[in-house]
Chain A
Amino acid sequence: MPGLPVIDQSKCNCCGLCVNICTRGALKIEGNTVKAVPVEDPDWCTMCELVCPTGAITCPFEIIIDEDGN
């Protein structure tokens, strides 16, 4: 399963910018917290991280070496 952005609730002020930016509908406000939810056609565009004013939402990359890569 592909990963979801990581949200640090202690930094999130629930401004909703990331929710509005996401073209995949992968971010939702429930009550007064933002949640990342699995969607059928996920992306890792990292736009949510780009627009977040507080650095609460992040899209970390795992760096791996291809076994066949020389």
Chain B
Amino acid sequence: MLRYVSYFKGLSEADLAAVNNHVFEKKAARGEIIVFEGEPSDAIYYVNEGVVKAYKTSADGKEQILRIIRPGDTFNDVPFLGGVNLATAEAMSPVVLYGIKKKDLETMVHDYPQIAKNIIRVLSHRVEEMVNLIEDFSFRHVHGRVAKILLENAGNGGKPRLTQQEMAAMIGTAREMVGRSFKNLEAEGAIRLEHNRIIIANRAVLLKIAGLDE
């Protein structure tokens, strides 16, 4: 399985076998926390089965998902040389993980420079993802654009149904931002979420949020 981990791309069979000695397996049930934000970071993980979410929690208990980690991907790799876990990682389903202790990883990088190159690639990809997320948070008025889309696509029967993914694509944002906007719009009394229906409860408020009021 190690050959599929992006860190170990390009290593020979013999090298992979040596690396494999440092790998441990970890299983977790749905809802189990695998790493806690703020705790010393001692291992990176590769998801072999199941799905893990990495998130941050605000002071008032709101959860912001940073990444969804599916089979074939790694997590907790940003504090590569130790430090603390930057986010909490929780199993969203039963999961099977492979872990490597950070101190073993350091030795490996020393022994197999190819791994260092691979790690740089993974880390720069993570930075890219984070920069995109920051852009969404800071500069784009996602909230108002979601309101606009809801107004444009509201109809009693005549309009196509839309997924959060589709709305995100229409706005040019991450899907998570759309879900977050729904919750905000609901808290402001503009909409009501009822199962698979979004009910525009107060059109005037929604128009205002969309910047379409006169």
A interface residues, Cβ below 8 angstroms from B: 2-3, 15, 17, 20-21, 23, 42-44, 46-47, 49-51, 53, 55, 58-66, 69-70
- In Å, the complex CA distance between A46 and B180 comes to 13
- In Å, the complex CA distance between A59 and B179 comes to 12
Contacts A2-B196, A69-B201 given; does A58 touch B165 at CB 8 Å: yes
Is B195's CB within 8 Å of the partner chain A?
yes
- Complex interface: chain B residues within 8 A of A44 (CB): 193, 195-196
B interface residues, Cβ below 8 angstroms from A: 30, 50-51, 68, 70-71, 92-94, 150, 153-156, 159-166, 175, 179, 192-193, 195-204
CB distance from A54 to the nearest CB of B (A): 11
Asked if B154 and A20 make an inter-chain contact with CB atoms under 8 angstroms apart, the answer reads no
Q: Which of A50, A55, A58 has the most CB of B within 10 A?
A: A50
- Complex interface: chain B residues within 8 A of A47 (CB): 92
Contacts A17-B51, A17-B93, A20-B50 given; does A60 touch B163 at CB 8 Å: yes
CB distance from B89 to the nearest CB of A (A): 15
Interface of B is mostly: loop
Which residue of the partner chain A has the closest CB to B65?
A: A50
Asked if B161 and A61 make an inter-chain contact with CB atoms under 8 angstroms apart, the answer reads yes
- Complex interface: chain B residues within 8 A of A20 (CB): 30, 50-51, 93-94
Asked if A64 and B196 make an inter-chain contact with CB atoms under 8 angstroms apart, the answer reads no
CB distance from A65 to the nearest CB of B (A): 5
Contacts A21-B92, A62-B196 given; does A70 touch B162 at CB 8 Å: no
